Amino acid sequence: MIFNSYSFLFLFLPVTLAGFYLLGRTTQKGAALWLLLASLVFYCSWDVRFLPILLLSMGGNYWMCGRLLSGQQSSKKRWLTAAVVFNLALLGYFKYANFFLATINGITSQNIELLTIILPIGISFFTFTQISLLVDAYHGKLKTIDPLHYALFTAYFPYIVAGPVLHHQEMLPQFADPVNYRVHGNNFAVGATLFTFGLAKKLLIADNLVPLVNAAFGSDQPHLVQAWLGVLAYSFQLYFDFSGYSDMALGVSRLFGFQIPFNFNSPYKAASVSEFWLRWHISLSRFLRNYLYIPLGGNRSGQMARYRNLMLTMLLGGLWHGANWTFVIWGGLHGLYLCVQHGWRGWRRGETTAEPPGMLRGFFNRGLTFLAILVAWCFFRAADVPSALNLLAGMAGGNGFSPVTADPFGLCMLGIAAGIAFFLPNTNEMILHLESRFANKPASFSLVNTQWSSSIRWGVATGVLLALCLLSMDKPQDFIYAQF
């Protein structure tokens, strides 16, 4: 069951909402338990065989968290080590066992039989979420935890499939607040709008770019124009697919009164790769920085140590996305980009004639950053390394030139997607300005500044958009990041 399906919209969501708020009028724990059970049903709807793995992860981590909270200081390090090993072993077996076996076969020319393994959906997300909680428990940032709230934090259905990677401080206090178990009209208005915007990103934009993407990435010899159109289409398909999911997750959670953090902030408007990672998949960037890059030493031991730590962090971040060398190369490219960027900035700071970037340089930086990201996306999407290199050869003109034969509708959608991503305000800027915590957050560059309000005009516009989405739900497609 996915967000963009009739079964979710017209059965699961209304039944879960009704039960949650009816129980919330009399028993907060009952409402939380109902939401937990609904989350487990949602997870089972993908494949019931996934459930024991989720329960094993949840139960094992809760038990070890208890040991960290109640144990002696001298034993906490051992418990944390055991907990991290447990999580990485679980993730490593289900996600990477066959990858390593296949790599050994390729290197040694052996023929080790691959394992029959099902990959539980969302395992990367609920594993990283729990690791961050365990590390904070070890450092004393968590004093106690309710078992029901812990289970709900782990299995909460709006984000278990494709994130964001949440921090316990963002959710556990909300689960304990009685106010969030009462109906609030503003939550429904904002939640429904966020969900509709996300649904439109997925159904009306991302899914309509698929033919252009498949034509390029499925071609043996993509020519110049076909290769460029395919890579551009994929960059926007991935953007609107993942940001659409994130908006829907925000919206659905808001319907239940809980606010999860936004995960996108117009990443293609970034003027550097480091800024891109502050805007793209924000929760994962935060996790990699706080629980990998900084523990490795960050930039505390000089520039060369910084380069090493950046490369290790991005290589592991790439591998987190999937068990394929293409993801490792994708992460390595971003690590290389970051090293080059920091080296360039260090050299520029040594210049006495360095000038602050003007508008023209700002546009040049954005264009160069986007071009670097496009090259990396080739490896992210390709089935294997030779396919990615073949596509890059096509982009460089190595496969020749042929006239454009793409569907005009696909080309039109590609132009619309680019216009929205580069020149219009994002969903956060349109809606979340209502939240006090975002009131003073500076907006990105946009040709227009449109802000949502609970007015009849916006209600009609959202209703029309939702109707268009419902008419496009005949063949619902999975979300790209659900595979990670």
Residue positions annotated with a catalytic role: 321
Which distant-in-sequence residues (6+ apart) come within 8 Å of 209 by Cβ? 233, 234, 236, 237, 240, 410, 413, 414, 417
CA atoms of 25 and 307, how far apart (whole Å): 54
Which distant-in-sequence residues (6+ apart) come within 8 Å of 261 by Cβ? 164, 166, 170, 282, 283
Distance set, CA 367 to CA 286, 363, 406 (Å): 25, 6, 24
Which distant-in-sequence residues (6+ apart) come within 8 Å of 354 by Cβ? 348
Which of helix, strand or coil describes residue 166? coil
Burial of 59 (0-12, 13-18, 19+ CB in 10 A): middle
Burial 263-281 (b: 16+ CB within 10 A, else e): bbbbbbbbbbbbbbbebbb
CA atoms of 414 and 399, how far apart (whole Å): 23
Q: Which amino acid is at 52?
A: P
Residue 147, preceding bond cis, omega within 30 degrees?
A: no
3-state helix, strand, coil in the chain (%, to 5): 75, 0, 25
CA atoms of 86 and 88, how far apart (whole Å): 6
CA atoms of 92 and 320, how far apart (whole Å): 10
CA atoms of 405 and 324, how far apart (whole Å): 32
- Enumerate helices (H) and strands (E) in the chain, giving the number of each: 23, 0
Of 320, 318, 293, residue with least CA distance to 308: 293
CA atoms of 416 and 113, how far apart (whole Å): 47
